[in-house]
């Protein structure tokens, strides 16, 4: 009887070992998804830009999975809404960092959320790809765990915009500056404009005014600026207020050029302001008419998923953020956060939709290339004439 029990025990042990072996093989051949965290303001005062980011992120994940995923596994995006609240962005980033199977985070979006999470990135040890932040920063100011996908507004870039606008026939001997004082990105842009003008960019600054997010009546501000007879206006703000300002400025007789930075990249401005937006000069990191394979793939996928309207720049940022993180996972051949961040920081000549990306270990793309454009009345962009 004891021998029989021993044989049964041995058989049971052998069967258990076989089950464990089979289970191990299945785990290796059928891995779980590779998880990316995502942060964007899908609701709240900046939602227009965040919703565009979301479209780009989701399109990238779909195309990655349609092509077989990463390291033999599907990619899963856990996209969270920061509700245009920097405190929420901080809280969500902490949550992602505390979730071991999240490889890295694409987002947050914009300057306020970027500045809020930046100090934490050195402590949380999770790769972060911030999108659309405009504050000019030196590489040493970044932690070793964060890069940006953006086109920073610098005095050098402002000079180039003004030079090219004048070459295109715009009269810009004097200029007025109007900024959203409640928006960190707009404040940083306005600072870059002042620095460019002070260093000899050309036009004389004749008015420097500000408004607050949510303002709807710009009549008094417009009248005050127009008394100084500016040839042009540089407008640093975001969609809703920019659209209203353009309509009211044109209605009050201002016929000169209006220029602006990243906030002007939203096609909805043209759709809201219509003819008042026609001719607005801005700059983009992307030419959606390009023959580059990556751009054509993105445009075709975007049209199929979201229709035939104007394609927003921020959708390209969201798409490239996901693709950069995916490229780092592939290069690292691992989902280990440290290895992924090392691969991300070592990215060289990655061809994205919004440009070619290379990083010096962290921080900003080392060689961004702006494309100067003017807005049409339907929210599209065309090369600056």
pLDDT (tens digit per residue) in 98-132: 999 999 999 999 888 999 999 999 999 999 999 98
DSSP string, 201-242: -SSEEEEEEEE-TT----HHHHHHHHTT--SEEEEE--HHHH
Instruction: Tell me the angle at which helices 313-332 and 293-306 cross, rounded to the nearest 10 degrees.
Output: 120
Q: What is the pLDDT of residue 339?
A: 98
Confidence check: pLDDT of 307 > 80 = yes
Confidence check: pLDDT of 377 > 90 = no
For residue 125, the tally of other CB atoms under 10 A from its CB is 13
- In terms of domains, do 58 and 118 share one? yes
Tell me whether strands 281-284 and 371-375 are parallel, antiparallel or unpaired: antiparallel
Identify the CATH number of the domain in which residue 47 sits.
3.40.50.2300
The answer to which of 36-40, 158-162, 246-250, 322-326 has the lowest mean pLDDT is 158-162
> Is 147 part of any domain?
yes
Mean local confidence (pLDDT), 360-383: 90
Selection from 146, 103, 145 nearest residue 125 by Cα: 145
Determine what percent of the chain is predicted with pLDDT higher than 90.
Answer: 72
For residue 211, the tally of other CB atoms under 10 A from its CB is 20
Q: Say how far apart CA 343 and CA 328 lie, in whole Å.
A: 5
Mean local confidence (pLDDT), 68-83: 97
| Cβ–Cβ under 8 Å, residues 302 and 60 | no
- Is this model's pTM higher than 0.95 or not? no
**Which residues 6+ apart lie within 8 Å of 336 measured at CB?**
none
E-only strand ranges, the chain: 34-40, 75-81, 102-109, 128-131, 146-149, 174-180, 204-211, 232-236, 258-259, 281-284, 350-352, 355-357, 371-375, 381-383
Mean pLDDT computed over every residue of the chain: 90
Q: What is the three-class DSSP state of 3?
A: helix
- In terms of domains, do 141 and 38 share one? yes
Determine what percent of the chain is predicted with pLDDT higher than 70.
Answer: 92
Q: What is the pLDDT of residue 202?
A: 85
Q: What is the pLDDT of residue 378?
A: 85
- For residue 292, the number of C-alpha atoms closer than 13 Å in the C-beta half-sphere is 14
Report the domain count for the chain. 2
Q: What is the pLDDT of residue 87?
A: 97
- In terms of domains, do 162 and 251 share one? yes
Domain C-terminal end among 260, 279, 310: 260
- In terms of domains, do 142 and 162 share one? no
Q: What is the pLDDT of residue 385?
A: 66
Q: Say how far apart CA 37 and CA 329 lie, in whole Å.
A: 14
- In terms of domains, do 171 and 199 share one? yes
Answer whether the bond into residue 108 is a cis peptide, omega within 30°. Answer: yes
Confidence check: pLDDT of 19 > 80 = no
- In terms of domains, do 241 and 182 share one? yes
> Is 20 part of any domain?
no
Confidence check: pLDDT of 344 > 80 = yes
User: What is the band of 9 on the pLDDT scale with cuts at 50, 70, 90?
Assistant: very low
**Tens of pLDDT along 210-269?**
999 999 999 999 999 999 999 999 999 999 999 999 999 999 999 999 999 988 988 899
**Which residues 6+ apart lie within 8 Å of 300 measured at CB?**
none
> Is 267 part of any domain?
no
Q: What are phi and psi of 259, to 5 degrees?
A: -125, 160
- Give the sheet arrangement for strand 102-109, strand by strand: 75-81, 34-40, 102-109, 128-131, 146-149
Confidence check: pLDDT of 18 > 50 = no
> Is 265 part of any domain?
no
The answer to which of 52-56, 95-99, 261-265 has the lowest mean pLDDT is 261-265
Q: What is the pLDDT of residue 8?
A: 37
**Tens of pLDDT along 150-184?**
888 889 889 988 998 998 899 999 999 999 999 88
Residue 180 zone, left/alpha/beta (φ > 0; ψ -120 to 50; rest) = beta
Confidence check: pLDDT of 54 > 80 = yes
Selection from 110, 96, 2 nearest residue 47 by Cα: 110
- In terms of domains, do 358 and 312 share one? yes
Domain C-terminal end among 260, 276, 303: 260
> Is 201 part of any domain?
yes
For residue 326, the tally of other CB atoms under 10 A from its CB is 23
Quote the domain boundaries for residue 108.
34-152+289-369
Token pair for 139: 């590489």
Q: What is the pLDDT of residue 106?
A: 98
């Amino acid at each position: 009887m004891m021998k029989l029990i021993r044989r049964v025990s041995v058989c049971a042990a052998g069967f258990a070992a076989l089950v464990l072996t089979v289970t191990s093989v299945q785990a290796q051949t059928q891995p779980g998804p590779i998880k990316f965290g995502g942060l964007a303001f899908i609701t709240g005062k900046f939602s227009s830009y965040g919703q565009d980011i979301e479209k780009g992120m989701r399109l990238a994940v779909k195309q990655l999975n349609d092509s077989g995923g990463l390291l033999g596994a599907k990619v899963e995006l856990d996209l969270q809404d920061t509700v245009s609240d920097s405190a929420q962005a901080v809280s969500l980033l902490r949550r992602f960092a505390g979730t071991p199977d999240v490889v890295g985070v694409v987002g947050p979006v914009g300057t306020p959320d970027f500045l809020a999470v930046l100090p934490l990135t050195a402590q949380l040890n999770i790769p972060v790809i911030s999108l659309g932040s405009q504050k000019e920063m030196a590489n040493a100011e970044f932690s070793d765990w964060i890069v940006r996908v953006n086109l920073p507004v610098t005095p050098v870039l402002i000079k180039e915009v003004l030079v090219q606008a004048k070459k295109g026939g715009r009269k810009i001997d004097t200029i007025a500056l109007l900024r959203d004082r409640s928006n960190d990105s707009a404040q940083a842009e306005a600072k870059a404009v002042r620095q460019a003008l002070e260093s000899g960019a050309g036009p004389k600054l004749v008015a420097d005014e500000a408004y607050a997010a949510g303002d709807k009546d710009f009549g008094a501000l417009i009248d005050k600026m127009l008394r100084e007879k500016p040839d042009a206006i540089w407008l640093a703000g975001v969609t809703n207020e920019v659209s209203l300002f353009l309509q009211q400025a044109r209605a009050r007789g201002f016929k000169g050029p209006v220029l602006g930075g990243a906030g002007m990249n939203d096609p909805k401005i043209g759709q809201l302001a219509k003819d008042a937006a026609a001719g607005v000069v801005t700059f983009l990191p992307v030419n959606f008419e390009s023959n580059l394979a990556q751009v054509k793939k993105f445009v075709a996928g975007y049209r199929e998923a979201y229709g035939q309207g104007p394609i927003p720049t921020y959708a390209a940022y969201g798409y490239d953020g996901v693709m950069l993180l995916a490229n780092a996972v592939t290069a690292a051949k691992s989902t280990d956060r440290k290895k992924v961040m090392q691969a991300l920081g070592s990215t060289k000549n990655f061809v994205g939709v919004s440009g070619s990306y290379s990083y010096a270990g962290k921080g900003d793309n080392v060689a961004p290339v702006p494309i100067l454009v003017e807005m049409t009345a339907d929210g599209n962009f065309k090369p600056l004439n």
